[in-house]
Amino acid sequence: MIGQGERMLRHVIILLVIALGITSGGAHAADAVEGKWYGTAGFPQDRVPWGFEIKPDPTGTALKAYLYSPIINFYGLEIPGAISREGDKYTNKDWHISFALKGDRLIGTIFFNDVPFTLARTDHLPSETPLPAFDRGPGPKWQQKLGAAIYATAAVADGTAYVGTTGGMFYAINIKDGSYRWAFAAGRPIYGEASVTTDAVYFTCDNGFLYKLDRATSKEVWHYDLGDGQAPRILPHQVVDNSGDFDFDIHASRPTRFGDTIYVGSGDGSIHAVNARSGARVWRFAAKGKMRGDVVVDRTRLYVGGFGGVVYAIDRNTGAQIWEKDTKAEITDSVALIGDVIVVGNRGGLLAGLNRETGQTIWKAQLWGSSAESTAIPAKVRGQFYFGSSDLRRVALMDAKDGRVLWRTDVYGWAWPRPTLAGNRLYMSAIGAAPYQMRHLGSLTAMDAESGKIIWRWPMPESPGAWMNGFVASPVVSDGAIIVGGLDGSLYAFPAS
């Protein structure tokens, strides 16, 4: 018979053994893949530094992976879900991770498109470094308060900047000194870039109208009903419990004139062709989701994408669909025509090159967990292009032939806006947000267009109490000045250098 004291002693010993994880199959028994791993990930055209720390979760019942990668600004990000094991294969369903230990290497894939990685053991994983002490550049020549946040890129012509605000005002501003030439009260927010011709200015407003104004006097010539006056927007804001979420709907379609016709998208999911002289409808094309991007026009076709995730090729004269390509996630900005390739990005993180004739995919690239919310612009070398990003924070020079990355530059903020090329300089707006899961700071950055090296970076002063600051609008270079509107409600002019 075992006495009560001996039974209690055995019970205590068993509990200690379980707690220390030294029973057969104990929860804390060390796995061969536990530890720190670092190497590279990506397809041959885009290899980036990549690492994991793999360790038991706090309960000791499962393995967890933590991501370290300076290219995507994560330093210990907890990957959702657990690492499970079956034989010599390890998987994580949440991020579609699969790997095995082969000799002294972890070899596997990640994400839906099975991006390969090869990692080796290491004693040290990267940590976030302080912001470099960049040259702040020349600073603004002038700053003109326009009374409300500016999301729209300014249109500049003949010494005048034409720009709207979320306060419902549309302005003509002298770019020499920031003085007012005229103002037009549209009454509802304006998010899109205007189009300027010799005698007219065209822009869209959230009251649902496309306007044509006399460029010299600001007198309204006509307005056309786009049918999207009730289309809602949820602007970026700090996302906390019960606050809802924003929808990244921060643009409006720029009216594009070709001959006597204006082509423009609308928030009700359609593309409109409008007679530029009379304001009468020529045709309307029904698409899927809000159409907030600019319409790209060539001699016979239009190319455009929208929140429904679809890129369309449309007959310019008739409005008939030629082809469509579903990218499977919202296209929140504009597609671009780089040579013969349609370059499109979406909020699913896809960046792709499409055949302009057929819409078939030529290549796919991914932005390492970041959404692709910028718009491509042609580079100095034919067939190359620049593209921004979201949480990746980088501006990249890429090859439109195969999606190969030639260089990336960290601008330390959301690089949603379209980059601007002027001579041998590339200018990039960036948006900051705090608090956030990674460092994002608002700024305007000037880079060498060939190497991507930062020449100067002007940090936007933070606004007390504002969650987001910086520049959503793209910079525009004209007459030796960089014109860009800020979320602080100011239109700025910087010396172009």
Averaged over successive runs of 10 residues, the pLDDT of the chain (497 residues) comes to 49 42 51 96 93 94 95 93 95 96 96 91 96 96 97 98 98 98 98 98 98 98 97 88 84 97 98 98 97 96 98 98 97 97 95 97 91 96 96 96 97 97 97 92 98 98 90 97 97 95
Strand partners of residue 201: 196, 213
Gap between the Cα atoms of 263 and 282, Å rounded: 10
The pLDDT assigned to 167 comes to: 97
Gap between the Cα atoms of 384 and 346, Å rounded: 19
Q: From the centroid of its chain, how far is CA 354?
A: 19
Instruction: State the distance between the two ends of the chain, measured CA to CA, in whole angstroms.
Output: 93
Cis bond before residue 435 (omega within 30° of 0): yes
**Amino acid letter, residue 488:** D
| 3-state helix vs strand vs coil in the chain, percent to 5 | 5, 45, 50
**By three-state DSSP, how is residue 10 classified?**
helix
> Which DSSP symbol is given to 145?
E
61-114-32 Cα angle (round to 5)? 35
φ, ψ of residue 4 in degrees (nearest 5) = -60, -40
**Measured on CA atoms in the order 223, 248, 433, 377, is the torsion positive or negative?**
negative
Short-list 165, 162, 144, CA closest to 154 = 162
Gap between the Cα atoms of 422 and 495, Å rounded: 12
Task: Give this prediction's pTM.
Answer: 0.90
Please give the C-alpha separations between residue 200 and each of 162, 203, 224, 277, 393, in angstroms, as whole numbers.
Answer: 11, 10, 15, 10, 37
**Amino acid letter, residue 395:** V
The pLDDT assigned to 14 comes to: 41
**Amino acid letter, residue 459:** P
Q: From the centroid of its chain, how far is CA 335?
A: 13
In the structure encoding, which two tokens stand for residue 117, read together? 């990685």
DSSP 280-297: -EEEEEE-SS---SPPEE
**Measured on CA atoms in the order 486, 491, 495, 496, is the torsion positive or negative?**
positive
Gap between the Cα atoms of 105 and 121, Å rounded: 7
The pLDDT assigned to 6 comes to: 52
**Measured on CA atoms in the order 55, 58, 64, 66, is the torsion positive or negative?**
negative
Element (H, E) at 245: none
**Amino acid letter, residue 427:** Y
Q: How many helices (H) and strands (E) does the chain have?
A: 1, 42
Q: How many residues does the chain have?
A: 497
Gap between the Cα atoms of 54 and 66, Å rounded: 6
Gap between the Cα atoms of 259 and 268, Å rounded: 25
Decide if 30 contacts 57 (C-beta within 8 A).
Answer: no
The pLDDT assigned to 324 comes to: 98
State the CATH class of domain 142-495: mainly beta
Domains of the chain by residue range: 1-30, 31-121, 142-495
**By three-state DSSP, how is residue 114 classified?**
coil
Short-list 136, 41, 44, 48, CA closest to 408 = 48
Could you tell me the strand order of the sheet in which 256-258 lies? 256-258, 261-266, 270-275, 281-286
